[in-house]
Structure 1
Amino acid sequence: MRFSRNATGTLFVGGAMALTLAALAYPAMLGLSQVSGAPDRVIASTRWGPLTEQDRDFVVKVRAAGLWEYPVGQIGLRKGGSEAVITASRHLVDGHAALDTTCRAIAPLLNITLPDEASPQQRGFVRQLDGESGRRFDTDFANILRMTHGSIFNTVAKIRSTTKNSLVRALADQANDTVLDHISMMEKTGLVDFDRTLFQQTTSPKLPDSDLTPPPPAAGRPEVVLTPPPSATSTPVDIDALAGGGTGAGPSPAPPAG
């Protein structure tokens, strides 16, 4: 199945790249309360360890990232003007399909509701790149994705070093490998403007929260699945083996993560 959800969003303003994966305060209507300023607050006790606000938001972030980077990878396979851009596009599709499989496996175990669309800003990136071609596409593709992956890389490291939940920790391990691979692929295109990209990576976006937050999934609509390519090389976490082990930390299943 190809990811084909149409969307609108916020594009670059004045050519400046805005940070995509800023802290997400997911809507309360999803059963996920907004970030309270205490990201280490435990919101659920589970058999795999306590679940904190930042653990929950991380799972949502990984899912949302795939919902725009996977279709951008598909666009790159069609429009890429160099072998390096096409190779990077293959890595995007392959890596995010595997991460998505892991997210969708652990979310119900932890009572986390996942989005089926990326944020308006992220969908804006898809629209922008889908409307470009040639050298401009290749250059924006490499710089946007280098910036966004660089932004989330520190978040992955923080979650991996602090979470007490074994399911979230396994996702962080997989995300760490995937994000580092994608950073390397963008750099190998030879198109990354490091001064511009690193500035944008470390500068907070001046956008409303609504532009940075994925919408809730529509009731009654089938879940969006990011299908692995036929030649997939990335492997999702073996959740059956991990979930079966547990940690002995609390009851199962988890109470609502809100």
Structure 2
Amino acid sequence: MPLSRARIGTVLVGGAMSVTLAALAYPSMLGLQHVSSNGARVIASTPYGPLTEADRNFVVFVRSAGLWEYPSGQLALKKGTTKAVRTAGQHLVIGHAALDASCRKIAPELGITLPNQPTPQQQGFLNKLTSDSGKQFDSDLANILRVTHGSIFSSIAKIRATTENTLVRQLAEQANNVVLDHIRQMEATGLVNFDQVNFQETTPPKLPSPQVTPPVPPAGQPVVVLTPPPGVPTDGIPTGPPVGAPSASPTGG
């Protein structure tokens, strides 16, 4: 069943975010269609280089994406009707567990509060996949995830090219590898409707800020941890270079 524009939409990244380092929160973040003109504004100085609004938004986005794409992968492992769909689910789970570990590692270093829930829009994607079954599930998984990953792909490259923060740069490199792998996995299902996917990516709906903003977790709430479920093979699944590798050193260059 083809996906309508209203059912997919765009994903959160690189939007406006009004926050100070002391607040450790992100009360307002807009979607991809509302990129902040202040994205280059430095909001904190860190041992790893200056941290801009765009940098902070990117770390929050990577975490938020995993909070719905990881469980989507778990659903694919259980409900996928073809080997290709189940394999795609395996890659989603392993890839986002790796990215999540990196986000949780660098967030305290950079003074960033991580969400524990996805955005309302992302939760809507997950709800749709949860209610799906059979071939409808396979089709919706492949197309929704292909749109979301395709929409963010160029934004990852922009962060990698512009950030002066070492840890954010490393996360962008890791995310680039993982997202490209997930794009390939969705296409390998043979279910992607490229005409509709391209339309969704180039003409995303304009959504209000609350729909594309992950809820701020209550103070003191433990950070949700995404880990690969027991028995899910990890061999041969790209997870990208880990953030904070031994070769890395604090620098603003």
Give the equivalent residue in structure 2 for 1:118: 118
- Aligned counterpart for 2:246 among listed residues 233, 241, 250: 241
- Deviations for 1:154-213, whole angstroms, at most 9, x for unmatched residues? 110000111111100100010000000000000000000001011111223232110110
TM-score normalised over the length of structure 1: 0.85
Partners of 1:114 and 1:159 in 2: CA distance: 18
Secondary structure, in 3 states, of the residue corresponding to 1:50?
strand
Give the equivalent residue in structure 2 for 1:31: 25
Q: Is the 2:17–2:53 Cα contact (8 Å) retained in structure 1? A: no
Count of residues in Structure 1 that have an aligned counterpart in Structure 2: 237
Counterparts in 2 of 1:96 and 1:13: CA distance versus 1, 3 Å? same
Cα shift at 1:218? 2.1
Q: Is the 2:8–2:125 Cα contact (8 Å) retained in structure 1? A: no
The gaps in structure 1 that reach 5 residues or longer are 1-11, 251-258
Give the equivalent residue in structure 1 for 2:161: 161
Amino acid at match of 1:232: T
Q: Is the 2:170–2:242 Cα contact (8 Å) retained in structure 1? A: yes
Partners of 1:172 and 1:66 in 2: CA distance: 14
- Deviations for 1:17-41, whole angstroms, at most 9, x for unmatched residues? 2112354445746434756621111
TM-score normalised over the length of structure 2: 0.86
Q: Is the 1:80–1:137 Cα contact (8 Å) retained in structure 2? A: yes
Partners of 2:177 and 2:190 in 1: CA distance: 21
Partners of 2:221 and 2:50 in 1: CA distance: 31
Counterparts in 2 of 1:47 and 1:173: CA distance versus 1, 3 Å? same
Amino acid at match of 2:222: P
Counterparts in 2 of 1:22 and 1:112: CA distance versus 1, 3 Å? closer
Counterparts in 2 of 1:221 and 1:236: CA distance versus 1, 3 Å? farther
Cα shift at 1:65? 0.2
Partners of 1:240 and 1:227 in 2: CA distance: 19
Between 32-41 and 114-123, the greater mean CA deviation after superposition: 32-41
Matches within 5 A, 1:34-49: 34=28, 37-49=37-49
Partners of 1:146 and 1:14 in 2: CA distance: 14
Give the equivalent residue in structure 1 for 2:12: 21
1:77 aligned to 2:77? yes
Partners of 1:78 and 1:27 in 2: CA distance: 40
Aligned-pair identity in percent equals: 56
Give the equivalent residue in structure 2 for 1:6: none
Give the equivalent residue in structure 2 for 1:96: 96
Give the equivalent residue in structure 2 for 1:232: 234
Q: Alpha carbon RMSD of aligned pairs, Å?
A: 2.2
